[in-house]
Amino acid sequence: MSKTYNIAVVPGDGTGPEVVAEGVKVLKAAAAKAGFKVELHYLDFGGERYLKTGETLPEGAVDEMKQYDAIYLGAIGHPDVKPGILEKGILLTLRFKLDQYINLRPVKLYPGIDCPIKGKGPEHIDFVVVRENTEGLYAGAGGVLKKGTPDEVAIQESINTRKGVERCIRYAFEYCKKRAKNKKLTLCGKTNVLTFAFDLWERAFYEVAGEYPDITPDYAHVDAITMWFVKNPEWFDVIVTDNMFGDIITDLGAIIQGGMGIAAGGNINPEGVSMFEPIGGSAPKYKGKNMINPLAAICAAGIMLDHLGEEQSGREIEQAVMKITAKHLKSLAAGQMGMTTTEVGDLAARYLTEL
């Protein structure tokens, strides 16, 4: 009997539904080719629902999510909803409550894509950031006193638990071990200033490194790493870092791989339910225009299949995407691709099938 994956699909806001539709096309093509099944369960979480019901995630939603094999997310963010409500109420709540403690973000420059760094090509830009996804400054620890008065105090603390840090570091070592590059894992921190948090990170990192003699442990301060990403991106293989630094450096990573139209990632709970998403956001001004680039969502579907154990399909989706970037797209930017959203999706499904 062929395997069936039950996948929750949250198209979300803005161009989310359009790019998810193309990702689903490719997912179905991959399933047909490899002989597994996907059952899709659509959920309407997002800005529209919030504006109608005042609810971000309905009661029981998180528990319902636990029964799926994976979650495929489009984009969350609506121009009529105050920033923070949907991000915290949907995206961060799912990451935290499903204990998706890894945010995995590959940074790879595909052939044919214009790199904003002079003299760098696909042979230079191919690394993966493993971002801690449930702690740090995102944990919501802290508070305000005397809000709105001249004496206002705002405290936002970074929470780093030994368990949380170590499990993230272990994941990064394991990931690095499996990856066919140069077996180097870089800890990105700020040990010269954040001497409590990154002391814990550094000790855990070098302790775990002792168990992986084949991997070279490496360290870089976060400010320096932003410089190296631009000057010498070829130095990196896998990078592990905390939640906030990971958020920042992966936007820089996205732009050196060509931009938000191609960057995708996974929120991973290795023991539970994981969620895969293009990281570009809802781009409301392009909604409904068939102009947005669906490749990031298609790549997210590939990362999802790889995570589910369909590695061959994951690789083939990436190959199909690379064929498109190499041969067809004028640009990754919405409206400048030289193709519509649906045409890109159709072509990706066709190339995948023909591979």
Q: Is 275 in the site for ligand IPM (CB under 6 A)?
A: no
Contacts with ligand IPM by CB under 6 A: the residue count is 5
The DSSP bridge partners found for residue 141 are 157
Question: Where does this chain touch ligand IPM (CB under 6 A) — which range of 13-21, 87-95, 118-126, 213-221?
Answer: 87-95
Q: Is 242 in the site for ligand IPM (CB under 6 A)?
A: no
Helix (H, G, I), strand (E, B) or coil at 290: coil
Q: Is 87 in the site for ligand IPM (CB under 6 A)?
A: yes
Q: Is 135 in the site for Mn ion (CB under 5 A)?
A: no
If contact means CB under 5 to 8 A according to the sort of partner, which of ligand IPM, Mn ion, none does residue 91 touch?
Answer: ligand IPM
Question: Where does this chain touch Mn ion (CB under 5 A) — which range of 60-68, 176-184, 245-253, 296-304?
Answer: 245-253
Q: Is 320 in the site for ligand IPM (CB under 6 A)?
A: no
Q: Is 97 in the site for ligand IPM (CB under 6 A)?
A: no
Residue 143 burial class via C-beta count within 10 angstroms: exposed 0-12, middle 13-18, buried 19 and up: exposed
Nearer to Mn ion, 130 or 320 (CB): 130
Instruction: Quickly tell me which residue has 């040990």 as its tokens.
Output: 191
- Compute the distance between CA of residue 212 and CA of residue 229 in angstroms, rounded to an integer: 25
Query: Out of 18, 22, 247, 318, which residue is the one contacting ligand IPM (CB under 6 A)?
Result: 247
Q: Is 200 in the site for ligand IPM (CB under 6 A)?
A: no
Beta strands in 161-278 (DSSP E): 184-189, 216-221, 238-241, 264-268, 274-278
Nearer to ligand IPM, 56 or 313 (CB): 56
Smallest gap from residue 216 Cβ to ligand IPM (A): 28
Smallest gap from residue 135 Cβ to ligand IPM (A): 12
Contacts with ligand IPM in 4-63 (CB under 6 A)?
Answer: none
- Compute the distance between CA of residue 70 and CA of residue 306 in angstroms, rounded to an integer: 12
Q: Judge contact between 320 and 355, C-beta under 8 A.
A: yes
The DSSP bridge partners found for residue 311 are none
Question: Where does this chain touch Mn ion (CB under 5 A) — which range of 107-115, 132-140, 241-249, 283-291?
Answer: 241-249
Query: Out of 18, 135, 237, 247, which residue is the one contacting Mn ion (CB under 5 A)?
Result: 247
Q: Judge contact between 23 and 86, C-beta under 8 A.
A: no
Nearer to ligand IPM, 70 or 92 (CB): 92
Query: Out of 222, 254, 279, 322, which residue is the one contacting ligand IPM (CB under 6 A)?
Result: 279
Nearer to ligand IPM, 217 or 266 (CB): 266
Q: By beta-carbon distance, which residue lies closest to ligand IPM? A: 87
- Compute the distance between CA of residue 178 and CA of residue 309 in angstroms, rounded to an integer: 14
85 membership: H or E segment, kind and range:
helix 85-86
Closest by Cα among 117, 115, 90 to 10 = 90
287 CB contacts (<8 Å, ≥6 apart)? 14, 15, 18
Q: Is 242 in the site for Mn ion (CB under 5 A)?
A: no
Smallest gap from residue 295 Cβ to ligand IPM (A): 18
32 membership: H or E segment, kind and range:
helix 16-34
Beta strands in the chain (DSSP E): 4-12, 37-42, 70-75, 102-108, 126-132, 136-145, 153-159, 184-189, 216-221, 238-241, 264-268, 274-278
Query: Out of 43, 90, 91, 102, which residue is the one contacting ligand IPM (CB under 6 A)?
Result: 91
The residue ranges that bind ligand IPM (CB under 6 A) are: 87, 91-92, 247, 279
The residue ranges that bind Mn ion (CB under 5 A) are: 247
